[in-house]
Structure formats: structure tokens, C-alpha cells
């Protein structure tokens, strides 16, 4: 556990970069520091491994005050990953990862095999090991940075905007990889980002920093989206926070009604007076027939919207309902068979109920 107690940092002149920070970082979890640029996230992070000395206050790691621990000893117990992976350009990927181990006096052969193992852990093939950093993509370099930070198996991992310089697709991939790794490794991670989406995806808890180096809110992501404590947090989290929150809530409470279905290549009239869902012989949805449409099979078929998979979220349920031409979202099981339909009004009511029950 990392504990900040009344920690302030004032660089040479005037304004505090970090102002009386009080915060407990839970062991084995991902804590995200998020906020606009210049609000003291990096400074706060760097005080943990003594790259920056606090002006006042104390930081303890597992009860030990870091001011009493020598910097090199402290850093051995903490991996550090930055935005530009910070790899040594004239060393191979393998050597970059093994270097930390060598500094820790791990014998060469052992260091190399551990480094190879770490590359595999972060999803890089052994064929990358002999390359130089400039021969890798930005995303691959970041993976090497993570492998290097994890090589000595430190209990604490400090990550400063590690994915900010890669494109959004790779970034999403790296986020998922980090979550997967964390399920196995359960490190104490402090992760800095300026991106609220990244914060809510990764954080077990999120600290929203405001300018002047003050933490405006420290809470689980779902709570920050649901109940921002002030206008600053609300503004930072954005207008669509209500919608973002849905990704966290299970859709199990949404009633699923029986669907009126017909085989898509059947040539019967739609006499039901309502929308009819066309399905294939496996009961998978194909499209909709409007009320009264004489369904000459394909011709009158209106394409359907997104599907609500069993076990999906309220967001998926609402997506399905709103994207369907009938206003009814199609619910399917894991095999893609239709299990029924959900009604947009009822999904919205379920969202309201979820909001109430979390108050």
C-alpha cells in the first residue's frame, strides 16, 4: 500500500505543483491519477520513487517512509514506465529488459532467460528480442517498456501516460493487455493519464486531479461517472458520462419479451399488425418486417440493429433497442439464437433503477 499524507511539492517559485495530497493507494489494485495537463500527476507519481522530493508531508510504502529508504533501493522495488518507453537505443530489446536484472546482480544467463520470459508475457515473440528499439512500432516499444518494468518482479508499478503516444486502436489493445496481466500479477499500480476513458477502463479507483495539484475526487470509476462531486469533475468527465456509466451496469434486470418471429424465406403475409422478426433456420435474426408489410421474403426485409447478447450490459441493451427499426432490441444467447426482445422504454427504466439502487 502506498500512502500520501499531506504531501506538497513547490518547485523553485510560488505555486504548489501538488497541494496537500492525502490518498491511500490500495495494494494489488490499479489506481489511476487523471486530470488535465499541469495539475501535478507526474510530480505526485515521481515522489513515490524519489525522482522528486516532496517539499512537505510524507509518503509511505507498506508503512515505510520513503524518505528513509535509499533511492536506488526504492526503485528496485518499483517498476517505472513512461510515455516514450525510454529504451536504450543502442541495446537490443532483450538487453534492454535484462539490464535491470543485471543491475540487481542477477547472473547473465538467468537474466536473459527471465527477459525472454517477460517479452512473452507482454505479448512479444522471441524474434523481437534481437531487434533494436527503432525497429519496433510504438506499441511494441511500450510493451518492451512494460516488460522491463516487470522484469525484476517489483510489487509496485508506476506508469506515467504509458499509452498516450500510440494510436487509439493499439492503445485499446495495450489497455486490455494490461488488465489481463494485472489479473495474473496483481501488482500495486499507479497509472497516470489525462484521458478519462482510459481512467475508467483501467482504474479500480480513480483520483481526479484539478489544477493547483489538488485531488477533486477519489473514488471507483463508476461513482465518479455517476456522482461527480463538483462542476470541475462533471466537466472533466463530460456530458456523456451517463451513457459511459452504462458500460458498467449489467443488463440482467431488463425484461426480455417473447419475440414474434417468422422464417425469413417464408412467403406468408405479416398479419400480426406489429413488427415481425425474421430468423433463419437456426433461429438467428436476419431483419425485420414492418407492420402490414407483405413479406415477399427478402424484398420487404428491413436490416436489424445491434444485438443484446445474454450477459451483456445495459449499454448493449440500449444500443440494441435504439438501433432496431422496430424499437425492439433483439436479445440473443451465446450461440446467436433469438431469445426475445427488449423495449427501449424498459431499458431506460432499468437504467434509472440501477442509478437509484447505487445512490
For 243-300, give the secondary structure using H, E and C: HHHHCCCECCCCCCECCCEEECCCCCCCCCCCCEEEECCCCCEEEEECCCCCCCHHHH
Q: Hey, which residues between 9 and 28 contact Mg ion (CB under 5 A)?
A: none
Supply the minimum distance, in Å, between the C-beta of residue 47 and ligand ADP: 10
Question: Which residue, 42 or 188, is less far from Mg ion as judged by CB?
Answer: 42
Contact of residue 17 among ligand ADP, Mg ion, none (CB under 5-8 Å per partner type): ligand ADP
Contact of residue 92 among ligand ADP, Mg ion, none (CB under 5-8 Å per partner type): none
Supply the minimum distance, in Å, between the C-beta of residue 33 and ligand ADP: 8
Question: Which residue, 55 or 306, is less far from ligand ADP as judged by CB?
Answer: 55
Supply the minimum distance, in Å, between the C-beta of residue 161 and ligand ADP: 8
According to DSSP, residue 29 is labeled S
Question: Which residue, 197 or 343, is less far from ligand ADP as judged by CB?
Answer: 197
CA-angle at 341, arms to 339 and 342, nearest 5°: 130
Question: Which residue, 11 or 62, is less far from ligand ADP as judged by CB?
Answer: 11
Residue 43 near Mg ion by CB under 5 A:
no
Q: Which whole-number Å values give the CA distances from 213 to 20, 22, 82, 100, 207, in the listed order?
A: 8, 11, 20, 32, 11
Q: How many residues bind to ligand ADP according to rule CB under 6 A? A: 10
Contact of residue 145 among ligand ADP, Mg ion, none (CB under 5-8 Å per partner type): none
Contact of residue 332 among Mg ion, ligand ADP, none (CB under 5-8 Å per partner type): none
Question: Which residue, 232 or 288, is less far from ligand ADP as judged by CB?
Answer: 232
Which one among 2, 7, 17, 74 touches ligand ADP, defined by CB under 6 A? 17
Say if residues 48 and 158 touch (Cβ distance below 8 Å). yes
Of the candidates 328, 318, 322, the one whose C-alpha atom is nearest the C-alpha of residue 348 is: 318
Q: Hey, which residues between 20 and 59 contact ligand ADP (CB under 6 A)?
A: 35, 37-43
Contact of residue 11 among Mg ion, ligand ADP, none (CB under 5-8 Å per partner type): ligand ADP
Contact of residue 121 among Mg ion, ligand ADP, none (CB under 5-8 Å per partner type): none
Supply the minimum distance, in Å, between the C-beta of residue 156 and ligand ADP: 18
Choose one: 15-23, 36-44, 237-245, 280-288; the region binding Mg ion (CB under 5 A).
Answer: 36-44
Q: Which residues lie below 8 Å from residue 344, measured CB to CB, with a gap of 6+?
A: 318, 321, 322, 327, 328, 329
Q: Is the dihedral of CA 244, 245, 247, 248 positive or negative?
A: positive
> What are residue 332's phi and psi, to 5 degrees?
-130, 160
Q: Is the dihedral of CA 285, 288, 292, 296 positive or negative?
A: negative
Q: Which residues lie below 8 Å from residue 82, measured CB to CB, with a gap of 6+?
A: 145, 160, 161, 162
> What are residue 140's phi and psi, to 5 degrees?
-65, -40
Number of H helices, E strands in the chain: 12, 16
According to DSSP, residue 14 is labeled S
The helix (run of H) or strand (run of E) holding residue 48 is helix 41-48
Contact of residue 39 among ligand ADP, Mg ion, none (CB under 5-8 Å per partner type): ligand ADP
Supply the minimum distance, in Å, between the C-beta of residue 258 and ligand ADP: 54
Residue 42 near Mg ion by CB under 5 A:
yes
- The rounded Cα 318 to chain-centroid distance in angstroms is 21
Residue 11 near ligand ADP by CB under 6 A:
yes
Q: Which whole-number Å values give the CA distances from 221 to 124, 164, 227, 240, in the listed order?
A: 30, 20, 10, 14
Contact of residue 43 among Mg ion, ligand ADP, none (CB under 5-8 Å per partner type): ligand ADP
Supply the minimum distance, in Å, between the C-beta of residue 173 and ligand ADP: 24
Supply the minimum distance, in Å, between the C-beta of residue 9 and Mg ion: 13
Query: Which residues bind to ligand ADP, rule: CB under 6 A?
Result: 11, 17, 35, 37-43
Query: Which residues bind to Mg ion, rule: CB under 5 A?
Result: 42
Amino acid at each position: 500500500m502506498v500512502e500520501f499524507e499531506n504531501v506538497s511539492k513547490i518547485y523553485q517559485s510560488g505555486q504548489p505543483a501538488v497541494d496537500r495530497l492525502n490518498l491511500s493507494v490500495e495494494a494489488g489494485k490499479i489506481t489511476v491519477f487523471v486530470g488535465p495537463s499541469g495539475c501535478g500527476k507526474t510530480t505526485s507519481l515521481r515522489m513515490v520513487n524519489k525522482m522528486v522530493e516532496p517539499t512537505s508531508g510524507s509518503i509511505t510504502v507498506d508503512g515505510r517512509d520513503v524518505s528513509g529508504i535509499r533511492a536506488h533501493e526504492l526503485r528496485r522495488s518499483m517498476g517505472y514506465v513512461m510515455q516514450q518507453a525510454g529504451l536504450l537505443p543502442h541495446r537490443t530489446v532483450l538487453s534492454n529488459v535484462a539490464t535491470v536484472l543485471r543491475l540487481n546482480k542477477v547472473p547473465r544467463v538467468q537474466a536473459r532467460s527471465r527477459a525472454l520470459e517477460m517479452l512473452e508475457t507482454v505479448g512479444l515473440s522471441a524474434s523481437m528480442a534481437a531487434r533494436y528499439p527503432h525497429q519496433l512500432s510504438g506499441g511494441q516499444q511500450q510493451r518492451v517498456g512494460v516488460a522491463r518494468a516487470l522484469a525484476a518482479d517489483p510489487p509496485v508499478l508506476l506508469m506515467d501516460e504509458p499509452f498516450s503516444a500510440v494510436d487509439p486502436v493499439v492503445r485499446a489493445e495495450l489497455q486490455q493487455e494490461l488488465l489481463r496481466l494485472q489479473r495474473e500479477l496483481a501488482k500495486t499500480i499507479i497509472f497516470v493519464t489525462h484521458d478519462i476513458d482510459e481512467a475508467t477502463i483501467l482504474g479500480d479507483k480513480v483520483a481526479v486531479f484539478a489544477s493547483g495539484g489538488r485531488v477533486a475526487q477519489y473514488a471507483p470509476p463508476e461513482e465518479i461517472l455517476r456522482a461527480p462531486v463538483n462542476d470541475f469533475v462533471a466537466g472533466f468527465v463530460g456530458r456523456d458520462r451517463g451513457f459511459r456509466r452504462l458500460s458498467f451496469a449489467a443488463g440482467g434486470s431488463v425484461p426480455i419479451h417473447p419475440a414474434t418471429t417468422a422464417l425469413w424465406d417464408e412467403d406468408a403475409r405479416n398479419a400480426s399488425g406489429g413488427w415481425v422478426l425474421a430468423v433463419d433456420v437456426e433461429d438467428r435474426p436476419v431483419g425485420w418486417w414492418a407492420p402490414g408489410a407483405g413479406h415477399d421474403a427478402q424484398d420487404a426485409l428491413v436490416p436489424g440493429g445491434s444485438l443484446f447478447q445474454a450477459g451483456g450490459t445495459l449499454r448493449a441493451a440500449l444500443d440494441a433497442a435504439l438501433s432496431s427499426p422496430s424499437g425492439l432490441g433483439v436479445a440473443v444467447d451465446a450461440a446467436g439464437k433469438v431469445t426475445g426482445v427488449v423495449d427501449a422504454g424498459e431499458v431506460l427504466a432499468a437504467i434509472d433503477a440501477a442509478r437509484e439502487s447505487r445512490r
